[in-house]
Structure 1
Amino acid sequence: MIWVALWCSALAATAAAETPAQTHSCVACHGNAGVSDNPEWPSLAGQNAAYLEQQITAFRDGERENPPMKPFVENLSDAEIAELAEYYADQEAVATANGDPALVDTGRQLAGYCSACHGYAGRPATDEWPVLAGQHAAYLELQLLSFKRGERIQPLMQAAVGKLSAKEFAALAAYYSQLQP
């Protein structure tokens, strides 16, 4: 019995030692181990490390604007960003399944617009693109709208979402939120 307690204690200490110090400022919004409780904020757990690194760097350098993020990332070094990205990529992702269930079938039909880049199961062809499977529906909707409005710039995304409506964004978000990451 004592050896089990010692083993658990050593395991917890090892896990704490492997958690980057910078995660302490991420937890409030992105949740413990990167699983966000707020549907308008992304879960980072299981996301592609290259994508996370690219996005955190874009926030830090002002290429992607998000005033609430700026104070948390503005002083991170490239090495710290890479460490955070790897940490969150290694965490277990969970499906939020928080989109409107009545829209899932429509979203599945529309997912052909997304599948060339993000895969049929919401896992992209390259790790420089985001995993959509299991992400919060509200967050996905907001990002699609941001691309359509030109608030986020990525030419492939602008082309893909240009003719889609807000209702179609909601359907896509509902579909991807229920997929297992």
Structure 2
Amino acid sequence: MRLCSLATAAAMLAVVAGPTRAADESIKEKAAQCTPCHGEAGMSETENTPSLAGQPDQYLQWQLVFFRSGSRKNEVMQPMAEQLNNEDVRNLGAYFASLTPPKAYAPDDNPDLSRKGAEAAAGRRCASCHGDTFAGTKAVARLAGQREEYLVKALHDYKSSLRVGGGVAAMADVAYPLSEEEITALAHYLAHL
């Protein structure tokens, strides 16, 4: 009887695991469409394109929804996001969030600039939303280890109101008064965490 119970349990696991593997393969196929820009394993090597690995799940989902709705504009992302259903959005968010996040993509070649960036981050209370380690949380982006030029672009987009979506009021409020020197320093500091 015990052998029969074990066989039944194994059969049930096979039935459950089958669709899970199929779903895993399906999401990997969808995520493969992201690779040309966002890189293998979500690590971007494309200028002005963020790494997605280790971004918080909810943050990724919201960005896809913003692109899909057209409230966040990008000529590449909008058409791709329009093809995603809600399940795809949830699965892609979970998939990229599960990947190992980037570490500083290069040794810090300018510690003085990083120090100025740390001061700017403290003065703007960046950690109050992005977390003490800038790893992001829930619907707030991970900044640590992100591509430096992308961070500069994102801050400029918030400052000029080109970027909208969740948190835009807080980010516009933070970014608008930043000087070019502070933007450069912040991006350098965060990219090298």
TM-score bracket relative to the smaller structure: 0.7 to 0.9
Structure 1 residue 63, shift from structure 2 partner: 0.8
CA distance in 2, matches of 1:49, 1:88: 7
Which residue is 1:116 aligned to? 128
1:95-174 aligned at under 5 Å gives the runs: 95-98=103-106, 101=110, 102-112=112-122, 113=124, 114-124=126-136, 126-153=137-164, 154-174=168-188
CA distances 1:104-129 after superposition (whole Å, capped 9, x unpaired): 111011111111111231123x4110
Q: Which amino acid in the other structure matches residue 110 of structure 1?
A: A
Which residue is 1:59 aligned to? 67
CA distance in 1, matches of 2:90, 2:161: 28
* Worse overlay, 58-67 or 95-104: 95-104
Question: What TM-score results when the alignment is normalised by the length of structure 2?
Answer: 0.79
Question: What TM-score results when the alignment is normalised by the length of structure 1?
Answer: 0.84
CA distance in 2, matches of 1:78, 1:158: 28
Q: What percent identity do the matched residue pairs reach?
A: 34
Which residue is 2:90 aligned to? 82
Cα distance change, pair 40–141 in 1 and its aligned pair in 2 (3 A)? same
Q: Which amino acid in the other structure matches residue 53 of structure 1?
A: Q
CA contact (8 A) 1:97 1:174 kept: no
CA distances 1:36-91 after superposition (whole Å, capped 9, x unpaired): 01241100000000000000111111010001112221111010011011000000
CA distance in 1, matches of 2:135, 2:53: 13
Which residue is 1:38 aligned to? 46
* Worse overlay, 97-106 or 62-71: 97-106
Give every structure 1 segment of 4 or more consecutive aligned residues whose post-TM-superposition deviation is greater than 6 Å.
Answer: none
Across the two proteins, how many residue pairs are aligned to each other? 165
| Runs of 5+ consecutive residues of structure 2 not aligned to the other structure | 1-20
| Runs of 5+ consecutive residues of structure 1 not aligned to the other structure | 1-13
**Structure of higher CA gyration radius:** 2
* Worse overlay, 42-51 or 102-111: 102-111
